[in-house]
């Protein structure tokens, strides 16, 4: 089992036209939302610090590193809201061990992330470099929803992106699954400005010549403790038809690790919003 504390997790969310994205691997399907006569898929970038990462059998051996996850909102064969990981970026020194343990789609990048939870109201600056650049500037603000389909009030928006117990990633010719469970966490709404030179469209395989949209929503979770529990489940050949709605038919997938949070960590009450 692997334990870690996820700190200062920045959520950036966009609504992308479904026709500009490649088809997800079977048996996943995009969770579609109609808006202004078109179907959209929500995409997210999560920028955070992994801290006190250690195996339970070796509690004295701990390390930390920043990470960027790029994900798309999908439904799996059970109809469960899930995420499809497109890319995981982290420092070069940690990519090989992470790939060996989790078989996730990891790549190296230069990451320079702040620690907003250490104090102040911002602005804060996140920087990423990997065949291009991404720069995010953010400060505390009131809850707000921007461009894209409506998901309800602010609490419903936060739950939509965070309450996704299954994650999937293509690697080594297979589809791998992650199970994640976590309690409520503090949420700080943000005003965010994003700049880059095609970094996000390239990593999301965003095509069709359309401009990258404006942000739908953004917030920061100061800290969440995780425990990762690794296991194996049977493989299913790619392209096998999956019966719905019976969850037992065509059950996915290949190597799996499960994660679950253990405790909830408080944050300053003036910034706190339960998700």
- Burial code (b: 16+ CB inside 10 Å, e: under 16) for 165-199 equals bbbbbbbeebbbbbbbebeebbbbbbebebeeeeb
Q: How far apart are CA 211 and CA 174, in angstroms?
A: 32
pLDDT at 10: 97
Per-residue pLDDT of the chain (275 residues), as tens digits, is: 566 678 999 999 999 999 999 999 999 999 999 999 999 999 999 999 987 554 555 555 557 889 999 999 999 999 999 999 999 999 998 888 777 766 677 899 999 999 999 988 789 999 999 989 999 999 999 999 999 999 999 999 999 999 998 889 887 778 888 777 667 789 999 999 999 878 999 999 998 688 999 999 999 999 876 655 543 333 444 444 444 433 333 333 333 333 333 333 333 333 333 33
How is residue 248 annotated by DSSP? T
- Looking at residue 62, its pLDDT comes to 58
Q: Which residue has the tokens 């920045």?
A: 10
Percent helix, percent strand, percent coil in the chain, to nearest 5: 10, 45, 40
> Shortest CA distance to 12 belongs to which of 197, 271, 191, 217?
217
Judge contact between 190 and 217, C-beta under 8 A. Answer: no
Integer Cα distance of 137 and 220 in angstroms: 12
| pLDDT confidence of residue 274 | 33
Question: What residues contact 51, with CB distance under 8 A and at least 6 apart?
Answer: 4, 5, 6, 7, 64
Task: Tell me the domains of the chain and their CATH numbers.
Answer: 2-271 (2.40.400)
């Amino acid at each position: 089992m692997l334990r870690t504390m996820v700190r200062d997790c920045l959520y950036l969310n966009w609504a992308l036209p479904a026709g500009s994205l490649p088809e997800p691997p079977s048996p996943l399907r995009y969770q579609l939302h109609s808006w202004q006569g078109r179907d959209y898929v929500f995409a997210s970038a999560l920028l955070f610090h992994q801290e006190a990462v250690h195996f339970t059998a070796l509690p004295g051996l701990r390390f930390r590193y920043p990470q960027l996850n790029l994900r798309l909102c999908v439904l799996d064969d059970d109809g469960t809201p899930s995420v499809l990981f497109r890319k995981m970026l982290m420092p070069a020194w940690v990519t090989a061990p992470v790939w060996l343990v989790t078989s996730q789609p990891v790549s190296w990048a230069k990451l320079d992330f702040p620690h907003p939870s250490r104090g102040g109201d911002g602005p804060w600056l996140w920087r990423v470099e990997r065949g291009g650049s991404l720069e995010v500037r953010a400060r505390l603000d009131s809850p707000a929803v921007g461009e894209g389909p409506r998901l309800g009030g602010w609490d419903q928006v936060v739950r939509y992106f965070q309450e996704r117990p299954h994650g999937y990633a293509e690697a080594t010719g297979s589809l791998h699954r992650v199970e994640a469970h976590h309690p409520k966490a503090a949420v700080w709404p943000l005003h965010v400005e994003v700049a880059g030179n095609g970094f996000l469209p390239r990593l999301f395989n965003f095509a069709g010549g359309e401009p990258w949209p404006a942000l739908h929503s953004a917030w920061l979770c100061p800290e969440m403790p995780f425990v990762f529990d690794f296991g194996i489940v049977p493989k299913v050949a790619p392209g096998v038809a999956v019966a719905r709605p019976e969850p037992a038919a065509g059950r996915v997938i290949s190597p799996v690790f499960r994660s679950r949070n253990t405790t909830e960590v408080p944050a300053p009450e003036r910034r706190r919003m339960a998700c």
